[in-house]
């Protein structure tokens, strides 16, 4: 069974940092692109970042470039999102999600972790 579990959400002050983790199991983690998607309170989904299977490609939404860093540990099947210089507009539930295959939709999502700035 595919499982994605996010950790690390918390209430922090403007300008502070936070690292989110996503523990994966039940699939070939090291072979797939992974994503972070967020949802602000009472708002829609916003794609945040993706990282290719080998970490060679990392893309970000414009509003987090230079502040957020996505990374992964394929040996331990963990996805990370380092968030620095947090702003109030970063307040959201953060979901990790896996590609079905290359750009074929996000077929499994975690339950989300809440970040409040």
Which residues of this chain interact with other proteins, rule CB under 8 A?
A: 35, 37, 44-47, 50, 57, 59-62, 95, 97, 100, 103-112
The pair of structure tokens assigned to 74 is 């394929």
| C-beta of 16 vs 110, nearer to other proteins | 110
Q: How far is the CB of 75 from other proteins (least distance, A)?
A: 26
Q: How far is the CB of 62 from other proteins (least distance, A)?
A: 5
| C-beta of 43 vs 87, nearer to other proteins | 43
Q: How far is the CB of 106 from other proteins (least distance, A)?
A: 6
Q: How far is the CB of 112 from other proteins (least distance, A)?
A: 6
Task: Give the list of residues 6+ apart from residue 41 with CB closer than 8 angstroms, or none.
Answer: 91, 92
| C-beta of 13 vs 97, nearer to other proteins | 97
Of 20, 9, 24, the residue nearest 71 (C-alpha)? 20
The pair of structure tokens assigned to 62 is 């414009």
Q: Are strands 78-83 and 68-73 parallel, antiparallel or unpaired?
A: antiparallel
Q: Are strands 34-39 and 92-99 parallel, antiparallel or unpaired?
A: antiparallel
Distance from C-alpha of 68 to C-alpha of 66, rounded to nearest angstrom: 6
| C-beta of 86 vs 96, nearer to other proteins | 96
């Amino acid at each position: 069974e595919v499982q994605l579990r996010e950790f690390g959400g918390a209430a922090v002050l403007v300008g502070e940092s936070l690292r989110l983790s996503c523990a994966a199991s039940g699939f070939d983690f090291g072979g797939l692109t992974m994503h972070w998607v967020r949802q602000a309170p009472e708002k829609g989904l916003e794609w945040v970042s993706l990282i290719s299977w080998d970490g060679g490609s990392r893309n970000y939404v414009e509003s987090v470039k230079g502040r957020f860093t996505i990374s992964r540990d394929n040996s331990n099947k963990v996805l990370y999102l380092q968030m620095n210089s947090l702003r109030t507009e970063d307040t959201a539930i953060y979901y990790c999600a896996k590609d079905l295959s290359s750009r074929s939709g996000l077929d499994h999502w975690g339950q989300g972790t809440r970040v409040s700035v």
